[in-house]
A and B are shown apart, each in its own frame.
Chain A
Amino acid sequence: QKEVEQNSGPLSVPEGAIASLNCTYSDRGSQSFFWYRQYSGKSPELIMSIYSNGDKEDGRFTAQLNKASQYVSLLIRDSQPSDSATYLCAVATGGSYIPTFGRGTSLIVHP
């Protein structure tokens, strides 16, 4: 059974701070990793994809992947109240058509 674990939160950070969201996964064969943002009442939208070890930056977002330790994280710099949402981690394995989603971490950015 492939598992993706996320702390459900809520994670509360002040505006302007760095928010750090973590995700661990059980399948060592996992090759593709995704972070989605989901606002309340809306559908998940892709923020970042990462496929190799290390950091990948896109604007205020940085995804970090460590396959040896089986974790992937998302850093949000200069957090804004508009970043308040649930963040879903998804992991996919080559040869499988089904990604595994974590249950998400709720992030609250307070002014």
Chain B
Amino acid sequence: GAVVSQHPSWVICKSGTSVKIECRSLDFQATTMFWYRQFPKQSLMLMATSNEGSKATYEQGVEKDKFLINHASLTLSTLTVTSAHPEDSSFYICSAAGTGGTGELFFGEGSRLTVL
């Protein structure tokens, strides 16, 4: 199956700093990628849809100025958490849409963000 890789897998930062998480499709071109956030013992919550070459579409309640998404190429989307605070600590997961028409998603390994 298709491979999606996230980096870093975990990051610890101080409050007020910004953190960038990368999501790469390694063996296919992903015109659409998705970013999720998952709190402990909860389900994945979609944050935004990232389309190559255009602005991301954010879900209701997600601050686009705080969670900057860039999808500049067909294999890379980035999520930048700006001015991170402890409440932003979470597990962030990206996925890429398969090229077929069946709606299959390929997920990255996830990135654990801890804001001190």
Binding partners A and B = no
Where the two chains meet, the residues of B that have a C-beta atom closer than 8 Å to any C-beta of A are none
A contact residues vs B (CB 8 Å cutoff): none
